């Protein structure tokens, strides 16, 4: 094994497999229309609503005094500020939403008593605030009532999810509270997070909770126009699963974003019949926000970011790392809110910490040329048994990493796991020939065959495309027949 060990027949199969994938992928994948770019914003902004005419309404700190909240407006070219109405004095804004008709809604709360809070709903229509509703709403330590998310299918169908798990509905004239059955009972602890309204009789909420004090199990609930029901997901019964956001382009194209134990992404899709889990990129970052513009066009945002981390993009066939933000002075990045205005116009606002203070941050997806992301894949895995002494052996795995053109990739970090006579996890960097050579621990008279499974591949300036892999695992031939 002194040369690149891909036999001729295997190489032909490899080319055929790649050609097949490249030929079939575009049929199901939707070309990306543009990319996110950092754009100026006067001050830190927390809640926003974006529209298809290019305008945005938002709540944030004043540019001259960040501690003073203002209503911020983007007219398509520049930002301006308006003072909030006097009725909003003393209220803390908690969420925002928009209607397809062009209305922006903002929700806020103010303390009132041990068992009640005062809730404010503010509508922006045309050039400014045109409606404010305030009323008392039940709230306590165990059953908080603050609004956490707003969704709407029309100007006459606006839904607000509260921290207690109940909802408040606006029918175009007035607001009506609606009790939602407990997800987990008895003694549930619930953390509702997001709501999506496809139609007046098709509304979803997501969150997490459980009957125990430290139990966090993700859930989805659905309103069919007459009743609320809990809908099963692949994560039913699994603790430490956090469903944080939901959005859709219609009743049969809905995405949920979240994470498992703060470390692994959760991406669920509803096709009109069931929730299914989608595989995220190899980086597996915890997700917290999602925007679904149309089938084959969705973006997911990480729970928290270090400088250089990415947004995920769904093209109808697979999730990939879609937008990278390189802020030289950023230590951490936090995205506060996202809003979609159209198929290729979306916003994200937040802040980044530069080591001294938090600075305003905004990014916008707009049409434009998209530079293709380089991809790497596993071209081959070959596992053999190597004699170390008269009766001792070790497992050897040679992994070949290739780019999309099937050229060897040098300097790629490859990690994987041996199983069989030994169980161990190892990491090796590929050489100039694109090969990473793994050696297990030496075993005297080993029982069984060694197998090796790829865990992850990381290459500078490229993403690891597992769907293009020609092999993901391999075992030595039965009975130790592949000894060397």
Q: Taking Cα atoms as reference points, which of 39, 31, 33 lies closest to residue 369?
A: 33
pLDDT value of residue 76: 93
Choose the weakest-confidence range: 30-34, 38-42, 162-166, 386-390: 30-34
Per-residue pLDDT at 308 exceeds 60: no
**What is the CB-side half-sphere exposure of residue 407 using CA atoms within 13 A?**
5
Q: Please report which confidence band the pLDDT of residue 305 belongs to, taking 50, 70 and 90 as the band edges.
A: low
Per-residue pLDDT at 3 exceeds 90: no
Choose the weakest-confidence range: 39-53, 162-176, 180-194: 180-194
pLDDT value of residue 8: 33
pLDDT value of residue 10: 38
Paired sense of beta strands 287-294 and 297-302, if any: antiparallel
Q: Please report which confidence band the pLDDT of residue 478 belongs to, taking 50, 70 and 90 as the band edges.
A: low
pLDDT value of residue 370: 56
pLDDT value of residue 17: 44
The residue among 466 and 269 whose pLDDT is bigger is 269
Cis check: omega of the bond before 345, within 30 degrees of 0:
no
Per-residue pLDDT at 402 exceeds 60: yes
pLDDT value of residue 150: 99
pLDDT value of residue 325: 75
* Residue labelled with tokens 């990129």: 281
445: left (phi over 0), alpha (psi -120 to 50) or beta: left
Q: Please report which confidence band the pLDDT of residue 464 belongs to, taking 50, 70 and 90 as the band edges.
A: confident
Residues 375, 463: contact at Cβ < 8 Å?
A: yes
pLDDT value of residue 373: 59
Fold of 34-367: Methylamine Dehydrogenase; Chain H (2.130.10)
Burial of residue 257 (number of CB atoms within 10 Å: 0-12, 13-18, 19+): buried
Burial of residue 238 (number of CB atoms within 10 Å: 0-12, 13-18, 19+): middle
**Residues whose CB is less than 8 angstroms from the CB of residue 141 and which lie 6 or more positions away in sequence, other chains included:** none
**CATH code of domain 374-480:** 2.60.40.10
Burial 193-208 (b: 16+ CB within 10 A, else e): bbbbbbeeebbbbbbb
Per-residue pLDDT at 136 exceeds 80: yes
Q: Please report which confidence band the pLDDT of residue 304 belongs to, taking 50, 70 and 90 as the band edges.
A: low
Per-residue pLDDT at 15 exceeds 70: no
Provide the residue ranges of all domains of the chain, joining segments of one domain with +: 34-367, 374-480
Q: Taking Cα atoms as reference points, which of 190, 194, 162 lies closest to residue 175?
A: 162
The residue among 466 and 256 whose pLDDT is bigger is 256
Per-residue pLDDT at 34 exceeds 90: no
Per-residue pLDDT at 16 exceeds 60: no
The two tokens of residue 184 are 């987990």
Mean pLDDT of 300-321: 80
Per-residue pLDDT at 63 exceeds 70: yes
Q: Please report which confidence band the pLDDT of residue 484 belongs to, taking 50, 70 and 90 as the band edges.
A: very low
Q: Taking Cα atoms as reference points, which of 283, 178, 186, 300 lies closest to residue 244?
A: 300
What Å distances lie between residue 201 and 154, 157, 249, 286, CA to CA? 12, 10, 15, 31
Mean pLDDT of 144-153: 96
Per-residue pLDDT at 446 exceeds 90: yes
Per-residue pLDDT at 7 exceeds 70: no
Choose the weakest-confidence range: 45-49, 249-253, 332-336, 398-402: 332-336
Q: How far apart are CA 29 and CA 385, in angstroms?
A: 41
Give the tens place of pLDDT for each residue, 181-234: 989 876 788 999 999 999 999 999 999 998 877 889 999 999 999 999 999 999
pLDDT value of residue 374: 72
Q: Kindly report the average pLDDT of the chain as a whole number.
A: 88
Give the tens place of pLDDT for each residue, 229-255: 999 999 999 999 999 999 999 999 999
Per-residue pLDDT at 14 exceeds 80: no
The residue among 26 and 241 whose pLDDT is bigger is 241
The residue among 207 and 28 whose pLDDT is bigger is 207
């Amino acid at each position: 094994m002194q040369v690149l060990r891909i036999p001729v027949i295997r190489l032909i199969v490899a080319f055929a497999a790649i050609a097949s994938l490249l030929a079939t992928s575009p049929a199901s994948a939707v070309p990306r229309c543009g990319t996110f770019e950092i754009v100026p914003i006067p001050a830190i902004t927390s809640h926003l609503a974006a529209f298809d005419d290019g305008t945005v309404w938002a709540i944030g700190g004043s540019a001259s005094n960040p501690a003073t909240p203002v209503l911020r407006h983007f007219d398509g070219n520049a930002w301006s500020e308006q003072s909030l109405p006097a009725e909003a004095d003393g209220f803390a804004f908690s969420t925002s939403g928009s209607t397809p008709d062009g209305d922006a809604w903002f929700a806020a709360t103010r303390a009132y008593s041990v068992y009640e809070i005062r809730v404010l709903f503010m509508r922006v229509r045309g050039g400014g605030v045109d409606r404010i509703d305030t009323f008392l709403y039940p709230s306590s330590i165990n059953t908080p009532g603050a609004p956490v998310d707003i969704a709407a299918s029309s100007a006459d169908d606006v839904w607000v999810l509260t921290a207690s798990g109940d909802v408040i509905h606006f029918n175009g004239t007035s607001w009506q509270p609606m009790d939602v059955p407990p997800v987990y009972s008895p003694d549930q602890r619930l953390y509702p997070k997001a709501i999506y309204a496809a139609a007046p009789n098709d509304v979803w909420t997501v969150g997490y909770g459980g009957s125990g004090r430290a139990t966090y199990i993700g859930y989805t609930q659905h309103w069919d126009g007459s009743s609320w029901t809990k809908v099963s997901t692949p994560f039913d019964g699994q603790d430490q699963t956090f469903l944080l956001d939901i959005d859709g382009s219609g009743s049969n194209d809905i995405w949920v974003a979240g994470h498992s134990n703060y470390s692994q992404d959760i991406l669920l899709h509803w096709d009109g019949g069931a929730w299914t889990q989608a595989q995220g990129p190899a980086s597996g970052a915890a997700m917290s926000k999602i925007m679904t513009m149309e089938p084959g066009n969705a973006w997911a945002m990480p729970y928290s970011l270090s400088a250089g981390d990415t947004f995920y993009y769904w093209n109808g066939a697979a999730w990939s790392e879609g937008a990278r933000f390189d802020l030289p002075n950023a230590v951490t990045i936090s995205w506060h809110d996202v809003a979609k205005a159209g198929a290729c116009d979306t916003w994200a606002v937040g802040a980044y910490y530069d080591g001294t203070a938090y600075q305003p941050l905004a990014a916008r997806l707009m049409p434009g040329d998209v530079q293709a992301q380089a991809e790497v894949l596993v071209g081959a895995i070959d596992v053999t048994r190597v004699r170390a002494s008269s009766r001792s052996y070790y497992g050897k795995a040679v992994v070949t990493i290739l780019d999309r053109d099937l050229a060897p990739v040098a300097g790629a970090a490859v990690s994987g796991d041996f199983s069989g006579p030994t169980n161990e996890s190892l990491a090796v960097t590929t050489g100039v020939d694109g090969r990473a050579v793994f050696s297990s621990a030496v075993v005297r008279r080993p029982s069984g065959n060694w197998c090796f499974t790829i865990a992850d591949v990381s290459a500078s300036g490229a993403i690891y495309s597992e769907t293009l892999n020609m092999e993901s695992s391999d075992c030595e031939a039965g009975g130790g027949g592949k000894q060397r």
